[in-house]
Amino acid sequence: MTIRVPAFNLAQIEKRTRQLVQQGCYGFEECVLVQDTFEDFVRQLARQLPHEVSLWTLRDSCRTLLGQPLTKAAQVKLARRLASHVPDLVAGKATLPWTTQLADEWVPFRIKAGRVAHDSRARVGWEYELYALAGSLAGETVNKFWTARHYRYISLLMGFQTMRAKTTPKRLLQDPSQLVGMHFCGFVEVSKSGHRPGFQQVRIPPRMKAANCAVMDLRLRATQPCPKKYLHPCHVCSIGYTECPAATHRRTYYQADCPRCKQPRMFDPDDNRDGICVTCLRQSRLED
């Protein structure tokens, strides 16, 4: 039986995550966490959490980092996990990285990236990178393949519209990459999970849908103009979302000559397979 979607306070989790990274991890960047260094790190983290969280519980929650360098990625992953499990920590229950799905649960995700792909049945679709914002998966990245039929249906749940919509401008899904930046909840089930989490059911609570629509309106220039005064749609723009909140890919593309099409084209620094441009790469994956 599907359980009810809980009311995730994602704004509070985001705020505490930033606090734990900026203040809790300050001074320990790239440090190897052993002996006194590990103890000092745990104590500093504790100062950013409610006083009811014991050092014992926090130490147990951080033990997987023992002997490891505290990289930026490790900082963010730990901070997200701690921030989303504060009630458990206060209750004396340690929170550890995901290894297996122990119970069915709703997990809020943000879509980080997407690309053309084929599934095991040779169906063409898009594979999306999903970042878990809370729950037992907090801080983990999950890959999810959706056919065109699936992602179009889910896009409507997220807030995209059809041509029949009476609003102007219409929030139309013109390209699968427009799902990047959207939020949704997936029902992760034990029966559908193995070495990685699995889910089929998707829901978007009203506040999450409103946040999605705000991003769509930003991309449509309905709420404010493009800061660079571009006229082209955001999903074909070279600017990444590390620089612009309306972008549909992470890092800004760079221009170079493509060895495949022999033209000066845009390249994605995060997805540069075979050293070919973004256009050729998408076509290549369609042909695979």
Q: Which two tokens stand for residue 81?
A: 């996990």
Mean pLDDT, residues 65-82: 96
**Lowest model confidence (mean pLDDT) among 80-89, 150-159, 166-175:** 166-175
E strand or H helix at 124: strand 124-132
Q: Which CATH number fits domain 10-90: 1.10.3470, 1.10.12, 1.20.120, 1.10.4160?
A: 1.20.120
Q: pLDDT tier at 239 (50, 70, 90 boundaries)?
A: very high
pLDDT, mean of residues 206-234: 94
Mean pLDDT computed over 254-260: 94
- Predicted confidence (pLDDT) at residue 263 exceeds the cutoff of 90: yes
**18 neighbors 83 (Cβ within 8 angstroms):** no
pLDDT at 168: 81
Instruction: Say whether pTM exceeds 0.85.
Output: yes
Is 70 exceeded by the pLDDT of residue 108?
A: yes
* Nearest in space to 221 (alpha carbons), one of 209, 210, 238, 234: 234
Per-residue pLDDT reduced to its tens digit, 58-69: 999 999 999 999
Banded model confidence at residue 42, pLDDT cuts 50, 70, 90: very high
Q: Where in the chain is the domain with CATH 1.20.120?
A: 10-90
Per-residue pLDDT at 1: 63
The confidence band for 286, taking pLDDT boundaries of 50, 70 and 90, is confident
pLDDT confidence band for 206 (50 / 70 / 90):
very high
Those residues with Cβ within 8 angstroms of residue 78's Cβ, 6 or more apart along the chain or in another chain: 20, 25, 62, 65, 139
CA 12 vs CA 9, 16, 19, 84, 86: distances in Å: 6, 6, 11, 9, 11
Q: What is the pLDDT of residues 6-21, one digit of tens each?
A: 989 999 999 999 999 9
Report how far residue 70's alpha carbon sits from residue 76's, in angstroms, rounded to the nearest whole number.
Answer: 10
Give Cα separations from 177 to 9, 181, 241, 247, 274 (angstroms): 27, 9, 12, 10, 21
